[in-house]
A and B are shown apart, each in its own frame.
Chain A
């Protein structure tokens, strides 16, 4: 291991971190909204909403992300006249938006199942208690079901966020120069695959370490009922009685 070289590699690869995080968080943001929508469609008990959502999740969970990226980028690239006519070519021309689209569609499929799990695991008695207090409809969802569901879904959703950060590495196949793309380029110039990939691995590890800490902090913040209550000091007057 040549540490001077690894330091050089680190400085070159770190330049890809903004794009990696940009791809990951843009697609997670869009994906989360889409996932929520899909989860609600799945749980609506209305067949025309439930079935398309089921089919969508089946297709996007059942096919590799790499294949989806290739199909969206190179596949749709061959329908340029049609996309031009629809005014969509400006979007599909850019590898960045193709990558964001593929990652968004993918995370929405996984995320919708996580959210559905969280929603379905909301204890029934909590809902009944809320109804007894006179809450219903959107108020019940906003105040009771959604916060409990988010809290329950968060550990699994955290894994999904980490998976997405790693999935951005596939964007390098459509010319996006994120961390993995830069690593591949550097290897092609130096042929030192081990050192460069070790450095790339460390960069992903550090990013994901920080993300897991943030998710853990949010979990802690959302679960005051699971924390040990602050010790109650005996009141002074009581001691005197």
Chain B
């Protein structure tokens, strides 16, 4: 009860400072992309669903606030947060230093490596490093060696990646010049082009690729390969994006996330949606 009061006062305080009518009604507006299964996606009947949608509902219940979840295209998701169109982002967004210059993060509430999605029939399916894990932050030399080892196979291929992501930054840094990089607006778009054969390989988050592999059109003929890289420029895991001035909201989210980690809610949700536990280890 005490927490709720504190939060209420905190929200009221931020409402007075920012003049936001939303916070006064104790409603938090959370933006998601709605096209990044299984993190968040739009069901055929137009509803938002996925790991983050369920997690957001759980976190909001813990914070004792009403939440409204809205869909926003990935491209403009940070500028619209700073323009106060909503109060938080839960859209599979990794915590990176680059993003921290503009916004703040609560969490992380998830941590997963990257990987390559390729057709089973392609020579790329024998990519070296498959099944090995590297941390770019703590074992940079080994990780870069593993990335280097993939280049021989990737040379001259066309690679699809979602634009404005840690993965497109990773592709620009390590694979530019080796592969022809095409940037897509959503992961669904590059998956379509992989199926059509316009790109030879897709680079993305392993959990998102596992989500793709669950679809009937991909499950049979495609496979996740390459070294599993985390850390460093790939960020500190997935967090809730917040405006820098909303420190009370950050505290509330952090407490709620810790609560969800402690009582196992996060693990249950991760297992439900990803089939693997992506609870951040710290």
Q: Which residues of A contact B (CB under 8 A)?
A: 74, 77-78, 80, 93, 95, 173, 175, 177, 181, 184-185, 187-189, 191, 193
- B176 at interface, CB cutoff 8 A: no
The stretch of B22-30, B49-57, B131-139, B178-186 that contacts the partner chain = B178-186
Question: Which of chain B's residues have a CB closer than 8 A to the CB of A181?
Answer: 183
Given contacts A184-B163, A187-B79, A193-B76, contact A74 B102 (CB under 8 A): no
B79–A185 touching, CB < 8 Å: no
Question: Which of chain B's residues have a CB closer than 8 A to the CB of A173?
Answer: 185
Question: Which of chain B's residues have a CB closer than 8 A to the CB of A184?
Answer: 75, 163-164
- B198 at interface, CB cutoff 8 A: yes
Residue of A nearest to B193 (CB): A77
Residue of B nearest to A77 (CB): B196
B79–A175 touching, CB < 8 Å: no
What total count of A-B pairs have CB within 8 Å?
52
B79–A74 touching, CB < 8 Å: no
Residue of B nearest to A80 (CB): B196
Question: Which of chain B's residues have a CB closer than 8 A to the CB of A191?
Answer: 78-79, 82, 99, 101-103
B164–A185 touching, CB < 8 Å: yes
A175–B184 touching, CB < 8 Å: yes
- B98 at interface, CB cutoff 8 A: yes
Q: Which of B124-161 touch A at CB < 8 Å?
A: 160
A74–B76 touching, CB < 8 Å: no
Q: How many residues of B contact A (CB 8 A)?
A: 26
A80–B164 touching, CB < 8 Å: no
B75–A187 touching, CB < 8 Å: yes
A93–B75 touching, CB < 8 Å: no
Question: Which of chain B's residues have a CB closer than 8 A to the CB of A78?
Answer: 192, 195-196
Complex alpha-carbon distance, A191 and B76, angstroms: 8
Residue of B nearest to A181 (CB): B183
With A77-B196, A93-B196, A188-B163 given, name 18 new contacts (CB 8 A): A74-B189, A77-B193, A78-B195, A80-B197, A175-B160, A175-B184, A181-B183, A184-B75, A184-B163, A187-B76, A187-B164, A188-B168, A189-B98, A189-B169, A191-B82, A191-B101, A193-B76, A193-B79
Contact with A along B76-110 (1 / 0, CB 8 A): 10110010000000000000001101110000000
